[in-house]
Amino acid sequence: MCEEVLDGSGYPCLEYLVQTEDGFLLGLQRIPHGHDNNLLTLKKQKPPVLLQHGLLQGGDNWFLNPPGQSLGFILADEGFDVWIANVRGTRWSRGHIALTKTDRDYWDWTWDELAMYDLPAMLKFVYKTTGSKVFYVGHSQGTIIGMAAFTQTHVTDMVAAAALLSPITYLDHITSPFFSKAAHHYLDWMVKTMGVREFNLRNDLGVELVDWVCQRDDVDCGDFLTALTGANCCFNTTRIPYYLEFEPQSTSLKNLGHLAQMIRRGTFSKYDYGYFGNLQHYFKLQPPEYNLSAIPETLPLWMASGGEDALADPVDVLHMLEKLRTKPDMIYLADYGHIDFILSIRAKADVYDSMIDFFKSHTEL
């Protein structure tokens, strides 16, 4: 990613490869500092922050706008040691110690594995490399796997504080016409019977699936992005061709099936394999729910949600807040949609300045 996205930006960029316990090789990038040329400042230890992208995206999405508008650049210039996560199956994390992307087992995962293996592996690498607890920023699916991972004390022990953009744990009130109809018409089941394991909107099958959903009378895909995520107020539409050079990226069909289960059932649980499969995996008939009350009160949380967000609906956000033992710092932007939180040209003033103040208030360095 350093060469493809950040080359020529003037920011230093380092690349690492992190192995998960189940054998996936994840690309992890780092911007250790911003444009500060003061030698004393450069030598000073900087608080690390890990940026976790959302569904069908990669770590590049934190850098697709100019430096004054992209969170990754802004955090580096604000004195943070910026680390960029990329989960399995995305453009920057396609490796495995034994499998290739054409193998069936390579795509046999959902966000359960991202929360159990990918995020802890990357956090552990950053924590050990820097010797410091890590600030966490997640967007969309990055908030799902973050909140699931935070129910594990060995993860929260490495986290200084967390900021969640478009926070999601429950999905049963989403207003996204595309995802809602795809889930309720069991599109994931239909495709699974075809033997498909990778979901890639750039290949022929991905295009066919989109066409199938968009042809339904109750789904208007005239503005496809709005049909997916809701109306976005504030990003520069002239940059869409540039965005499309990097997004969307692949995920597993099983992962989409897991999200569809959440939409249909209103649960924040592990993947449902059916009665017999659940007995094999969990030794019980129903998949276990993630216990949000297990997230320690000592973990500072900050969240930003939008009134036009068709995926992180305010009702579902409230449901999540009711489950937590701690009261997060919150900001609400009535005109923000799902993508505005990472691509809005106003995001620095609207969102990021508040987040950065929150992080600095919990910085011990």
Collect all residues with Cβ–Cβ distance below 8 Å to 347 and sequence separation of at least 6: 69, 71, 234, 340, 341
Length, in residues, of the chain: 365
Query: Which of 196, 193, 214, 340 has its CA nearest to residue 255?
Result: 196
Task: Output DSSP code: residue 10.
Answer: S
The answer to whether residue 335 is catalytic is: no
> Active site residue: 53, 96, 258, 338, which one?
338
> Active site residue: 60, 118, 309, 340, which one?
309
Cβ 24 vs Cβ 88: under 8 Å: yes
Show the CA angle centred on residue 155, arms to residues 52 and 20, nearest 5°: 65
Rounded Cα gap, residues 196 and 318, in angstroms: 35
Which residues share a beta bridge with 332? 305
> Active site residue: 140, 166, 180, 344, which one?
140
| Biggest alpha carbon–alpha carbon distance for the chain | 62
Nearest-10 Cα torsion for 338, 343, 349, 351: 40
The answer to whether residue 140 is catalytic is: yes
Q: Which residues are catalytic?
A: 140, 309, 338
